Amino acid sequence: MEEWKTYLVEDLIEEIAMGPFGSNIKVDCFQPTGVPVLNGSNLFGYKLNEDSFNYVSTEKADSLGRSNAFRGDIVITHRGTLGQIVYIPENSKHDRYVISQSQFRLKLNTTKVLPAYFVYFFHTRLGQHRLLSNASQVGVPAIARPTSTFRKVEIELPPISTQHRIVNILDSIGDKIELNSRINHNLAA
């Protein structure tokens, strides 16, 4: 049986980038269609929530370069509602998103860690503790130097085959919870 190994996040990522400077996306940039812009309402749970978006033009999204997130990327809030972390699933509605100024994103080395496993870990009590270990509650809650400090966070990983099995079990439980919620909502209606 293969051993679990401890990694620093920086050893698992291929790319990490902050959201755009606040003045780069203003309300007057929004339009009815285009490239969706992520906000806190999109970052609850484990997978990206795609219920509602604001949009910017393709040209505006192109101008924001590294603030574009794609399928398989992880998006994390570093200011405001701390502790939010989701992944963009391979079957997402859009193939590209723009992260907000309160978020950062990363692309993982998927030969070492699955995006879903990574996100599930950071939803555990231990994962949340590590994610928020450099948070400040003075003024607007924020993580100090978010991309620098997050790189130094430790995570214990099983082999990829074990990660797949764990993710399959957790996804199955999540699907059942979601189905029960929809049934309860329909019954209540």
Per DSSP, 79 falls in state B
Q: How confident is the model at residue 1 (pLDDT cuts 50, 70, 90)?
A: low
pLDDT in tens, 27-58: 888 999 999 999 989 998 899 999 999 999 99
Query: How many Å apart are CA 56 and CA 94, to the nearest integer?
Result: 13
Q: Which residues contact 40 (CB under 8 A, 6 or more apart)?
A: 77, 80, 81, 84, 102
Q: How confident is the model at residue 93 (pLDDT cuts 50, 70, 90)?
A: very high
Split at pLDDT 50, 70, 90, the class of 121 is very high
**Residue keyed to tokens 């599930």:** 120
Give the predicted TM-score (pTM) of the model.
Answer: 0.89
